[in-house]
Structure 1
Amino acid sequence: MSRTDPFRPVDDTARTLARELIDGARHAALATLRPDLGLPSVSRIALATDDAGGPVTLISTLADHTQALRTNPACALLVGDPGKTGDPLTHPRLTLHATARFISRESADHTTLRSRYLTLRPKAKLYVDFADFGFVRFDISDALLNGGFGKAWRLTQADLWPDQRTT
């Protein structure tokens, strides 16, 4: 039995939809591996973007997913919300494969991220300066875009950030 490749060639439609999903995401499902058992775990995190359009979050050191990322920074983010009506599988979603990078509070990067994050997520002002909270930048390696039934693409880092060099 032969299998056909379900992925379409990447085009501007896919690139635009992926960027819209990243830029519009207020939260994401974060997939990590639990360090105690090596089992997958998923949690919801708040999400914003840095000045370059890359995903970032502000998380507590008390969270299980923080400990998981410190042990193994490989992770995945799922962005995209189902619509209010209809089958949730018909709505676009994007899986981002990433490496989490913790940002030191003493760095200039932290100051820049803090300012942008509060502009995008002003309610975070309540806890952004708590000692147990810190920023995590997600360095994206590639992505899987599902635009609904029969519309799937594999995207590279260059597809998501065409004007920037890869990390």
Structure 2
Amino acid sequence: MTNPIRPTDDDARALARSLIDAARFAALAVLDPATGDPMVTRIALVPGPDGVPLSLISTLSTHTGALAAHPACSLLIGEPGPKGDPLTHPRLTLQATATAADKSALRDHYLSHYPKAQLYYDFTDFQLTRFTPDRGFLNGGFGKAFHLTAPDFAT
């Protein structure tokens, strides 16, 4: 059987980078700390100044507790276009580590992407979370699958 994974090249890296840069939301997968079961939620997302995805997350949410207990997580980025088979549109799965980001230093950057977040950005129960990619899987459409490593995400 032929390996369906192509060698990672500059085009694959550029496509992954463009998906991260364009993403304004993602599906976040975490492990429930009480049960160990997987859990998925939708989060707002912006690329950080260094290209690493950021999200403003309420500390009251279940996924914040899950990330505190186990910071390894996964993000699914990329949405189907308005026409055609959804499986033909590119998507990127990031396996990442979640850490706290400097909320005050990144305020203007985050709000430049989500101006309406100004209503709640400064609430004390919100924290800015950074998702540093450890590795990823890029599906650029049928027959375009790539494994990515942390260096592949460097800007």
Give the TM-score band, short-chain normalised. Answer: over 0.9
Q: Write the deviation string for residues 110-159 of structure 1: whole angstroms up to 9, x where unpaired.
A: 32211210111111101101111010001111110000111100011111
Letter in 2 for 1:117: Y
Q: Which residue of 2 aligns with 1:47?
A: 45
- Match for residue 114 of structure 2 among 100, 110, 121: 121
The correspondence for 1:72, drawn from 59, 62, 70, is 70
Is contact 2:133-2:153 (8 Å) kept? no
5+ residue gaps, structure 1, are 104-108
User: RMSD of aligned C-alpha atoms?
Assistant: 1.0
Q: Give the TM-score normalised by structure 1.
A: 0.89
> 2:137 corresponds to which residue?
144
Q: Secondary structure at the match of 2:6?
A: coil
The one-letter amino acid paired with 1:87 is: D
Q: How far apart, in 1, do the equivalents of 2:49 and 2:31 lie?
A: 28
Correspondence list, 1:24-63, <5 A: 24-63=22-61
Is residue 2:83 matched to residue 1:90?
no
| Alignment deviations for residues 50-98 of structure 1 (CA, whole Å, 9 cap, x no partner) | 1101101000011111010011001000000011111111100000110
One of 119, 124, 131 as aligned partner of 2:124: 131
Asked whether 1:7 is paired with 2:42, we answer: no
- Aligned partner of 1:112 in structure 2 is 105
Secondary structure of 1:100's partner?
strand
Query: Identity, % of aligned pairs?
Result: 57
Checking the alignment, whether the CA contact within 8 Å between 2:67 and 2:98 is kept in structure 1 is yes
Work out the CA distance in 2 between the residues paired with 1:115 and 1:49: 13
Task: Report how far residue 4 of structure 1 moved.
Answer: 2.9
Unaligned 5+ segments in structure 2 are none
Partners in 2 of 1:25 and 1:158 — Cα distance?
20
Task: Specify the code of the residue in structure 1 equivalent to 2:48.
Answer: D
Aligned pair count reads 155
Q: Is 1:16 paired with 2:48?
A: no
Q: Provide the C-alpha distance between the structure 1 equivalents of 2:119 and 2:40, rounded to a whole number of angstroms.
A: 25
